[in-house]
């Protein structure tokens, strides 16, 4: 099946491709949509993923897939959670470019900010969460959500992956998520597990009208 993916993040397409074999994944730009962006103002991963998938479907009129994901840290009451990409962001002040706009941290800065907030915390339990929503048409919408539990490190490890991957340790493997091979990550990560469930769903849909 040809699926348009509601993201401008090239890393996500790289991960999703092998995790959904037999399907052709396309970025919004391949439908002539430049700068696809949807405000993620939902109260859950599901709400955000559904909003993005529906928005893209309404633009391209083809099956559309969206994900919303983040890192939940138990000692922080589940934060950064659905605000993971905006964690540590600040509002630009007077005298700065575009006053009032949101200034996001780079991934490494965000990781440092998180580790700083967790410096005195002994409970390091955390989990990556991923919700995938598939829209075939306005009346046919499917969703799966999975997680990848781990422990928050005290300093980054590994050069692979992206986002919070270098600061999440998987005890069963003795590696950070950033130290996993792409095959390992596709099998064990929150996104990989969600994709595995979505692949089963897509296979089933392929047998039905």
Q: How far is CA 32 from CA 22, 36, 60, in A?
A: 24, 10, 9
**CB atoms near residue 142 (< 10 Å):** 17
Which residue among 37, 41, 68, 123 is the active-site one? 68
Q: What is the number of H-type helices and E-type strands within the chain? A: 5, 9
Preceding peptide of 80 cis, ω within 30°:
yes
Find the radius of gyration of the CA atoms of the chain: 18
**CB hemisphere CA count around 143 (13 angstroms):** 18
- Alpha-carbon distance of 9 to 161, in angstroms, equals 12
Q: Is 183 annotated in the active site? A: no
Contact 56, 3 (CB under 8 A): no
The residue behind tokens 């391209």 is 60
- Alpha-carbon distance of 190 to 127, in angstroms, equals 8
| Residues assigned a catalytic role | 68
């Amino acid at each position: 099946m040809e699926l348009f993916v509601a993201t401008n993040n090239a890393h996500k397409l790289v991960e999703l491709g092998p995790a959904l074999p037999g399907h052709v994944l396309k970025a919004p730009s391949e439908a002539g949509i430049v700068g696809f962006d949807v405000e993620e103002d939902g109260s859950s991963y599901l709400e955000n993923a559904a909003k993005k998938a529906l928005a893209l479907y309404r633009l391209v009129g083809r099956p559309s897939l969206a994900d919303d994901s983040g890192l939940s840290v138990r000692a922080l009451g589940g934060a950064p959670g659905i605000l993971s990409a905006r964690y540590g962001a600040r509002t630009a002040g007077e005298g700065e470019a575009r006053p009032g706009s949101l200034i996001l941290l780079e991934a490494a800065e965000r990781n440092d900010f998180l580790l700083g907030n967790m410096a005195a915390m002994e409970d390091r339990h955390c989990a990556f969460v991923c919700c995938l929503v598939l829209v075939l048409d306005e009346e046919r919408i499917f969703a799966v959500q999975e997680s990848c539990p781990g422990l928050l490190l005290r300093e980054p490890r590994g050069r692979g992956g992206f986002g919070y991957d270098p600061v999440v340790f998987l005890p069963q493997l003795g590696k950070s998520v950033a130290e996993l091979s792409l095959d390992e990550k596709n099998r064990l990560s929150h996104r990989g597990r969600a994709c595995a469930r979505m692949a089963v769903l897509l296979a089933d849909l392929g047998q039905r009208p």
